[in-house]
Structure 1
């Protein structure tokens, strides 16, 4: 029997599937919705999440590394398209091609190496190109892109399936960078399609979907919104929460005199306070920056975190609970429908992505399908 003594992380696969359908319904006619499942589906478990998305019709999956793609391919065979967002490392092109993965290429050297492998092996190995439309991260710069466009034999041998770029400020709909990147990407797409008809265009991430139909092109690739992170800054989150995290209480105590709490004595509580120490700390993804700022949840109300978060424990002030509520208290929730990943991220001075991908592996994981 498992008593969840290390904490219980519940992941709602139905909510993830519903978020996918919501995002797909927002797309322009003719555009299809993929899914970014990199970093083990943002920490929630790629092996469990991908089948839930597949059941809703998703066939385009985006991962970060070749090993992630190989793992996904072994489970789904040739039924899905798998795009590696960070390309293919030198010397790994043949394994990538044999696995039927689609690498995103963003340097001329990568592009030429890929074509050499395709020509040498006679494999029908599709690839994707990424252009830098203004984020100044991964992507072919304008000069490099023009050099590739001028090399017709290279283009014809490459089997380009898709052209991608990535938005830098999509979560801020009024930011002028969005329109600049849209214009740059549209121009690049028109040029490449003039030489390689039939390629697919992909620009919109989670937030990009909410910028409007002109950003949708052929394939959208939402990630964080699937997992409940708010895709639009400053408005009510349209996505469903997907995770609940419960930490077991290992000690409850009455502090009779004013006392400081935790490392560094950074916070003092008054005499007569009740404290609960929960099993779970920064080794489990309870970010240290939340100390003295964050909160937990129990009996339908918030409970303040007090003192610094430790490696394996976090302390809460439960003075606001009634006597019977304190006595019955066995666990405190760190994430739930009321205490969302975005709120927790705010306490830690970070983003919901980091909250999800930091969730530890000591928790018992329960996957909810209904």
Structure 2
């Protein structure tokens, strides 16, 4: 869609994405820095992100589904591509055709992949996932020990991995417990590369017990400019800029209810700008304002213009009373995300996390890549 007709325009800075990968890679130069590009590369566009990250030096990518792996493979023909959500029954040949590596998290998946390798001689490898405390995917420690005590999985894994549950809270003891358990389980196959650190683990770097990086780190949301570890600063650049079109300006007397339910009333004679985006475009309803509970801010130049009233599916009202005269007119664009409002800022105003803000960015915006 062209920007001339769209209600929102989304600018994606691929140079900033590359710079973020380089920044994160430099945190632990002794281990490989991969890139997690699932969920359409956290909303910024899967093929575009993979191509940019490949040019920056990334050689290993993680997605959630085989359909995503096929797109990533077309964008990065020579890279290793892992599929985090495992192996659906009967899907071995489809994975091999794409050259995707399933992350195997159950004894059933491991047995099916081992049988496929034995029957076909397939060269494609797979990762094995250990559950060290997330209680989501992966072999339990008991299953892992039994598997390797019985001779191993029947093929050579390309990676052993686990996932941190609490690394975004540096004082939580669970992270060190997970690190220690993963180190123990990794010793079952010490010649196989190992991976534990996600975005937060990569930024945290180590616990009192040791390094979280192992051989390969898997940053995801931090690549896209969100910092999941607020206690640790990182020189991450914003990757997305979202602007909304002003479609109407109106004056509202003091005490006028605005939006659905009239949950917020103007506190003074107010100039409103109505923006042509809403929660269908990834600006969460919870970011709206109510009496006694101010909403997020859009920006006109350097002026904070608070959301007023509930956000609806396609529209947001903002208070532009304090913007200089004649600086806002019908057809203008105002900042929703950008230099003044980061992904994490909008997330906090919405009662959520940067991951959800990024992945919710709608497809109605006019997109451009720079």
Find the aligned partners of 1:216 and 1:256 in 2 and give their Cα distance: 58
Find the aligned partners of 2:247 and 2:49 in 1 and give their Cα distance: 32
RMSD: 1.5
Find the aligned partners of 1:319 and 1:10 in 2 and give their Cα distance: 27
Give 1:36 shift. 0.2
Deviates more, 1:229-238 or 1:247-256: 229-238
Per the alignment, residue 44 of structure 1 pairs with 44
| 8 Å CA contact retained: 1:291, 1:305 | yes
Find the aligned partners of 2:349 and 2:195 in 1 and give their Cα distance: 34
| 8 Å CA contact retained: 1:169, 1:175 | yes
Per the alignment, residue 127 of structure 1 pairs with 126
Per-residue CA deviations over 1:103-149 (Å, capped at 9, x if unaligned) read 00010010001111111111112010000111211111112112211
Deviates more, 1:20-29 or 1:219-228: 20-29
Per the alignment, residue 92 of structure 2 pairs with 93
Per the alignment, residue 28 of structure 2 pairs with 27
SS of match in other structure, 2:127: strand
Deviates more, 1:172-181 or 1:35-44: 172-181
Distance 1:2 1:294, change over 3 A: closer
| 8 Å CA contact retained: 2:92, 2:113 | yes
| 8 Å CA contact retained: 1:231, 1:237 | no
| 8 Å CA contact retained: 1:125, 1:159 | no
| 8 Å CA contact retained: 1:229, 1:341 | yes
Find the aligned partners of 1:261 and 1:2 in 2 and give their Cα distance: 28
Find the aligned partners of 1:103 and 1:28 in 2 and give their Cα distance: 26
Determine whether 1:233 maps to 2:226: no
SS of match in other structure, 1:160: coil
Determine whether 1:148 maps to 2:147: yes
Per-residue CA deviations over 1:3-59 (Å, capped at 9, x if unaligned) read 153211001001000000001111142x11100000010010011111111011110
| 8 Å CA contact retained: 2:281, 2:364 | yes
Per the alignment, residue 202 of structure 1 pairs with 195
Which 4+ runs in 1 deviate beyond 3 A? 234-237, 326-329
Find the aligned partners of 1:177 and 1:337 in 2 and give their Cα distance: 35
Find the aligned partners of 1:217 and 1:146 in 2 and give their Cα distance: 20
Find the aligned partners of 1:6 and 1:261 in 2 and give their Cα distance: 20
Per-residue CA deviations over 1:220-272 (Å, capped at 9, x if unaligned) read 01000000001312444531111111100010011135210000110000352
Question: Given the two structures, how large is their TM-score scaled by the length of structure 1?
Answer: 0.94
Per the alignment, residue 184 of structure 1 pairs with 181
Distance 1:122 1:188, change over 3 A: same
Give 1:186 shift. 0.4
Task: Within 5 Å, give how 1:12-23 maps onto structure 2.
Answer: 12-23=13-24
Find the aligned partners of 2:303 and 2:104 in 1 and give their Cα distance: 49
Show structure 1 runs of 5+ residues with no match.
Answer: none
Count the aligned residue pairs: 360
Give 1:188 shift. 0.5
Per the alignment, residue 245 of structure 1 pairs with 242
| 8 Å CA contact retained: 2:247, 2:331 | no
Task: Within 5 Å, give how 1:109-120 maps onto structure 2.
Answer: 109-120=108-119
Show structure 2 runs of 5+ residues with no match.
Answer: 290-294
Find the aligned partners of 2:140 and 2:280 in 1 and give their Cα distance: 40
